[in-house]
Each structure stands twice: as C-alpha cells, then as structure tokens.
Amino acid sequence: MSGRARRLGVPIAAFVTLAALALLLPAFVSDFRAQQFAYVSIYLIALLGLNVLTGYTGQISLGHGAFMAIGGYTTAILMADHGVKDVWTIPVAALVAGLAGFLFGIPALRLSGLYLALATFAVAVALPGLIKRFAGFTGGGQGINLFGTDELTASLTPVTVLGQELSFNNWLYYLSTSIALVLYVVAWLLLRGRTGRALRSVRDSETAAVSFGVSLARYKTLAFGVSAAYAGVAGSLFAIATTFVNPDTFPIALSIFLLVGVVVGGLGSLVGMIAGAVFIHFMQTQWAQDAESVIPDWLPFLGDLDTDSPGAPALVFGGVLIALMFVLPDGVAGLLQRLWKAFARVRS
Amino acid sequence: MADFLQQVVAGLASGGVYALLALALVLIHRATGIINFAQGEMAMFSTYILWTLTVNHGWPYWPAFAFTLAASFVGGAGVYHVVIRPNSASSVLRVVIVTIGLLIFVNGLAQFIWTGEVRAVESPFPSGTVDIGGVVIAWSNVGTIAVSIGIVVLLWLFFQFTKVGLAMRAAAVNPAEARLVGVRVTHMLGLGWGLAAILGAVAGMLTAPSLFLDPTMMQATLIYAFAAAVLGGIDSPVGAVVGGLTLGVLLNVLSWLSQYGLFDWFTEELRLPTALLIILGVLLVKPSGIFGRTEVKRV
C-alpha cells in the first residue's frame, strides 16, 4: 500500500464502519432512544460547524445559538406561513444562516480572542429580546407551532421511505443522521486541503498567515459563513424535531453548550465532535439527573447528593465540566490521540 | 428638570452597581488576561451569605456585610488557586470553559443550598427620601452611590500607595520581570481574584434589596457590567467606573424619555439588547474602549 492510500485508508474505513453502525442503530434501540440520538446528530452538525470556526480558525464564538435560531426560524416561517415541506426548508435555512454568518464575519474581522467571544455572546443574549420585539414576523413569545401540520413529515402518520415505514422519531433520526454524515464528509474535504491549511494558519498566527499571502478577510468570513450555515442546518432540524419554535428554543445556554461541546470533544478534531455531541445532549437531559446512581456513596458531600433537589444537576454538570478541563485538556480527541500513540509505540 | 435629575441620580445608583462588577471584570482581565464569566454568580453567592447571616443567624447588617466580604475574598482567591491557575498555562478557551463550568456550578450550588425561592434582602440604608434643591432622591440611591464611590477610592488608594498594590500592578503588567524582582506573582494574582470577588459581593449586596435575591439575580447585571467594561475599555479601571455610570444613566434616561414619546421604541425588554448594542458598537468602532490603550502586536 502506498503512503497516501494508507494515510487515507484507516480514516475512511473507520468512517464507513461508523456510518453503517449509525444507520443500523434504530433497529436495536427504542423509539425514545432514536429521538435522543437524533438530537445528538443535530448537535453534531452544529459542533462540526463551530469547530470549523473555533477549532480550525481560532475564532471563539459564544453566540452560535443565534445562527441556529436563524435556521430554526427560517424553517418554521417557511413551513407555517408559506406551506413549504420541511425537508426543503433545510437548504434554505443553511443559506440564510450562512449569509448571516458571512455578514457578521465582516465586522467581526476587527475583533479577536475574548473581544470576539464577548461580541458573539452579546448577539446571542440579545436575540430572544429581538425575536419577541418583532412579533409580527416571528410569532413573538408565543412562537410558531409546527406539530400536526401537513408540512411536517411523519407528524401524525408514519412515513414510508424506501419501502420502510418509519415513525416520526425514526424518520427524524435518519434525516438528521444522514445529513450529519454528509456534512461530516463535507467538513473533512474542506479542511484537508488548501483551505484547511489557510484556516489553520490564521489560527496559529495571523501575522504569519498574512505574510504567506493568506487573506485574513477572505478566510475568516468564509469560516464564519460555513460555520453559520452548519448551525443553520442544525437549527432547522432542531425546529423540526421539537415541532415548535419560540424565543426560548434557542437560549443563551445553547450557545454556551455548543462551545462546551467543541472543547470537550477536542478543538480541531472532527471525530471528537461526536463525543462532544453525545456529551452535551446526554449531560443536559440525563446524566446530570441520574448522577445519584453513578456517584459512589462513600464520597464526602457528593455521596449523599440528592439529585432531585434543585440545582443538583447544574452542580454535577458544572463540576464535571471543570474536572474535564483538568483530566482531558485536549478533549476526547486528545485522549484518543494519546491512546493511539501509545498503541503505535507498543506495536513497533 | 428636577424630574430629569432624579432619573440621572437613580441611573447613577444602578450604574454604580454595574461599575463595581465591571471593575471586578477589569481587575481579573488585567491580572490574568481572561474574562470571568462566573463573576456574577460568585457575587450572587456572596449575597446569599449575607442573607443567611442576617436572616437565619440574626446578625446585624454591617458585621454580616464585613464577614461576607472576608468570605468572598477567601472564596475568590480559592477559586483562582484551585481551578484557574492550574489551567491558565494553556489556551484562553480552556479557561473560558472553566469559568463557564464555574458559572453553572456556583448557580447549581446556590439553588442546592438555598433553593430557587426569591428572598428579600434588607437594605442598610434608611427607606425615606431626601430633597436636594427640589430633586427628590431615595436614601438607598444616595447610599449605593456613596458605597460605590467609597470602594472605588479605597481600591485606588490601595493600588497606588501600598506595597502590595504596587506588587499586584507589577505582576499584572509584566509577570516575568515582576518575578525577577521578587514579587510572588501567583499570590498577587490570587489576591486580585479575591479583590474582584469582594467588588462583586458589594455589587450583589447593594443591588439585592431592589432586585430581590434568587440564583439568577446577577445574570443581567453581569451583562451590563460587560457592556460597561467594554465601553470604558476592558483594561481600564477608570473606564469601568465611567462606563458603568454612563450605562446606568443612559438606560434610565432612555426609559424616562420613552414615557414622553421620545425614543418610544425603547421598551423594558430592550434594556438588555441596548446594552448589547453598545458592546457591539464599541467593539466595532473602537475595540479598546474609551480609556483603553491599543495593544501593538509583535511577531
């Protein structure tokens, strides 16, 4: 095998295996689990996009929930007011959010590091207020309901795809997972070549990148646009999955969780995003609540933690997050890399 | 006119609170180069300590106030040494995530201990008003402004005229050289976090009587403090104070004018977005803020 083929062989084989497993999953799990994993795929899409911006280009965004909101509202408005079928709204949501991201990227060129984090944070915090203010267009605080509409596939009756009858949750899982897989490959293709190199050079040293002829303006706005388009797709699927949008569907916490997911997964790693997506979904919905059964009783203070009491899930979530930064400074991807290196050393 | 001045004074009072929290953010940003997203939650937690002491243990207000400041100082320095310092050698982003983890953790802890119930906190100031040349001002506003100014002056004296203050400034400006001349830099940074926690605690305790205490009390205030710090320049203590006061007055005057048909687009739900618009505007026009210096980047 030539070097190039070997370099590509392992990741491609791993990806194909993973994709096959992902597509077979609903056969082995309950309907409820399928819905949960659909959300994992949705988060994965958003994380892949955010990673292009934060992990590969070095631009911190604490406001990616805002781009998800743009995608989600695009889908909801198209479905409710214009009678567009849900799947067709997804590419439109990607375009609208991508354009918004590209435009936001232009003023953001002036900012870097924590200033950019604050600016994006400002956008995400301001958004719910603005959505409420323009109620005529967005439905205001009431939001837009999609449940039971004709535009929502499989909402009331199962849908038949390729001869298979799918419930809403299974349909949702296949829809978001197949989109996530496609976008995973797209991100991989985008990042492995010339563009990826340019983005990484911007991350590592802007000054050096410019002196090598990399246009900061071009690549930063590109990264913003691409990453916002991913967030738009995720937001669109999120609206479809929850069958409802209102200003609280995309709270500031969502933006924060996305950044958490990217860091926990591992900055600058695509595989890591899967772990990041699993982390943010299950941490929010389950692990923090179930922590009682996992934490050993002999631990002082935590041992008799009653997770039914208010605040306990947040306590666990925050604690785990801080602990993770100590134990896995480079995220799950960093851990995998270390294990892989150790394995390679043992073999040779 | 008297009406207008009344609004200005009320604005200065809320602005004083923003200024204190903004000053805490600036202090930490100058010392450690990071933004502490948990600053507001730490302040909220401090305020709960005051509430417990005065309500549950029957302490008089001012001893409880002093004890809370001491506890906050220990807590702030402790947070720095336990979770921030070990992570600070690596990327900014990791420390950001740690402070976000801290935000979630402290909020959870407060709910865990005190539940989410809304609590009334007593005000240390008399409840009446004072009439100064036709302008009627609440004593609580006078007190808040006085305490804010007092704290800022004390802090300035501390940094300007004490040896520790000088050492802290040195550690913040140039840690490597400060270490060479014998400044224990990590201790100084820990002190900085402690002082910031004190500032936050004062902000929390001053604002609690009017906002009422619950675990989300400081979240909006933190965002106003961000706006104030950015407006004044995130590296400038003077800027934080001026920014905070300006923001407080501006928001109050805007909502007062909107009653008279001017700026009638300004509704209560736009208070926060307006502050954020200021953040965005300042960052885009002059990212270093009014009083900040622009940094020159070397290769």
At residue B152, the pLDDT reads 87
Q: Tokens 């009014």 label which residue?
A: B290
| DSSP letter string, A44-111 | HHHHHHHIIIIIIT----S-HHHHHHHHHHHHHHHHHHH---HHHHHHHHHHHHHHHHHHHHHHHTT-
| DSSP letter string, B78-109 | HHIIIIIGGGTTS-HHHHHHHHHHHHHHHHHH
Q: What percent of chain B clears pLDDT 90, i.e. is strictly above it?
A: 37
Which neighbouring-strand residues pair with B119?
Answer: B213
Residue B125 lies in a domain: yes
Cβ contact A49:A228 at 8 Å: yes
Residue B259 lies in a domain: no
Residue B240 lies in a domain: no
pLDDT one-digit tens code per residue, B7-65: 888 899 999 999 999 999 999 988 888 889 999 999 999 999 999 999 999 999 999 99
Nearest to B192 by CA among B88, B110, B289, B107: B88
Cβ contact B41:B204 at 8 Å: no
Residue B295 lies in a domain: no
At residue A49, the pLDDT reads 94
At residue A300, the pLDDT reads 56
Q: Which of A54, A208, A311 sits opposite B108 (nearest CB)?
A: A311
pLDDT one-digit tens code per residue, A302-314: 555 565 677 777 8
- A-chain residues within 8 Å CB-CB of B90? 329
Prediction ipTM score: 0.86
Residue B187 lies in a domain: yes
Chain A closest-CA separation from residue B294 CA (Å): 12
Chain B closest-CA separation from residue A332 CA (Å): 14
Retrieve residue A139's tokens: 């439905």
Q: Which of B93, B97, B277 sits opposite A321 (nearest CB)?
A: B97
- A interface with B, Cβ–Cβ < 8 A, is 54, 60, 107, 110-111, 113-115, 117-119, 121-123, 125-126, 129-130, 132-133, 205, 207-208, 256, 259-260, 263, 267, 309-319, 321-322, 325-326, 329
**Region A282-297: what's the mean pLDDT?**
66
Chain A closest-CA separation from residue B132 CA (Å): 38
Query: Where would I find the H helices in chain A?
Result: 3-24, 31-50, 64-82, 86-108, 113-133, 135-138, 168-192, 194-204, 206-211, 216-242, 252-265, 270-282, 288-294, 312-327, 331-347
Q: Among B283, B288, B294, pick the best mutation site for testing chain A contact (most A Cβ within 10 A).
A: B283
> Could you tell me the pTM of the whole model?
0.86
Chain A closest-CA separation from residue B8 CA (Å): 25
Residue B227 lies in a domain: no
Q: Can you give the residue range of the structural domain that contains B121? A: 2-217
Q: Comparing A138-147, A207-216, A238-247, B157-166, which segment has the lowest mean pLDDT?
A: A138-147
Number of independent structural domains in chain B: 1
Residue B86 lies in a domain: yes
Any A CB within 8 A of B56 CB: no
Residue B278 lies in a domain: no
